[in-house]
Structure formats: C-alpha cells, structure tokens
Amino acid sequence: MGLRINDTIPDLKVETDQGELSLHDWIGDSWAILFSHPKDFTPVCTTEFGAVAKLSDEWEKRGCKVIGVSVDGVEDHKKWKGDIEKVGGAKAGFPIIADTGLEVSKAFDMLPAEAYLPDGRTPADSATVRSVFIIGPDKQLKLMMTYPMTVGRNFGEVLRALDALQASTTKGVATPADWQVGEDVIIPPSVSDEDAKAKFGDFEAVLPYLRKTKLPG
C-alpha cells in the first residue's frame, strides 16, 4: 500500500549531495517539500529545479524546507547544480537525495516494488519518479501530485498549495478553488452558524453549506 494523505512518512536515512541525513530529523519542526525527478541533466527537470532555487526566499518565509530526489548519484547531483543555478539564476542551496537504490522512490510509491535500474538507463526507466510531496511538521503527508515527463511542474501552484495547507491546518478553515492569500476562506460545514459567528465574526452564507469569511488573524 502506498502513502496516503495524513500518513506519517517513513523516517529514511538518505545520502545527499550535502551528506547523510534522516528525513524526520531534517524536517524537524518545519514544513517540508520533497520533489523528485527521473534523471539529472535533463531539460524539463533542470528548469524545475531552477524554479525551486529561485523561490528560496519564499520557502523560507513559510518555514518550509525543500529537498530534491533523483535516482542518480551524489557526484552527478553536485555537477548538475551548476546547470540548475545557471538556468534558475539563483543558488541551489537545497539538498538532493541520491536514491540510487530506489529506497525513497519505492517508499513514497513512485515506482513499483519490483522496479530496478537497467544498465544504460534513460529517464523513461524512472519516469514515474516525478512527484511533489508536501509534509507537515508532524511528519504527515499533506499533499501529493505527480506529473508526466513532458509537462513542467508549476511551483507557483506548489507555493499556493502550501499557503492553503498552512491556513487550513492552523486556522481551522478550508480554501475555495483558486484561493490566494488575502482572499476569503470557507468555514467548514461541521461548524455551526453560532460557533462560526463566535470564532470568525461576520461571514457570508453563499449557500447553506458554503459560508465565506476573512481568514482570522
């Protein structure tokens, strides 16, 4: 059975271009994003990792650490970071896991249990290793998404999803479609009108089950 939302992620010990680390210890009390890709020195993934590097200040503002995953080795990661920084125009200060034995890829259900890496592999051999996992300070999986090789991930959306997760978990609200910071949020149906008034103040009842309000401070 693969990981599901609210499952605790496995506390794997992994090798990265910045040394060995334990996933749980590395996350600590922070939010974390683990993002994977099939192979170093490939075009779409280089633009994606460059986008992550460019957003370093935004991750930090939100108390979120980021870590990459690839089935290539540490030395390839170190060399590839030069390309990432050239494309992204920013320092790639985050670690990248060298998942050469596929432990992380299989533990996060990105590859089947019987998967292996053939000699002379291409990115297609690890194509499904192209996912995003957002993890809370409680080490539980909060969100996951997987993209095909030909479509670059939108890290603006990852950032927006992180904002929504942080708002919903800390304020007891939900967020509507396309929500951005500063916009109205949704009061959960489990909260009565009376309790909603006491907790959130004024709210708009668009439908009996759809009530919108300002995000509490």
Q: Which residues are catalytic?
A: 45
189 CB-contact burial (10 Å; exposed 0-12 / middle 13-18 / buried 19+): exposed
CA 17 from chain center: how many Å? Answer: 19
Query: What pairs with residue 31 in β-bridges?
Result: 64
Q: Decide: 54 and 87 in contact? Cβ < 8 Å.
A: no
Q: How many CB atoms lie within 10 A of CB 70?
A: 26
Residue 111 to residue 200: CA distance in whole angstroms:
44
73 CB-contact burial (10 Å; exposed 0-12 / middle 13-18 / buried 19+): middle
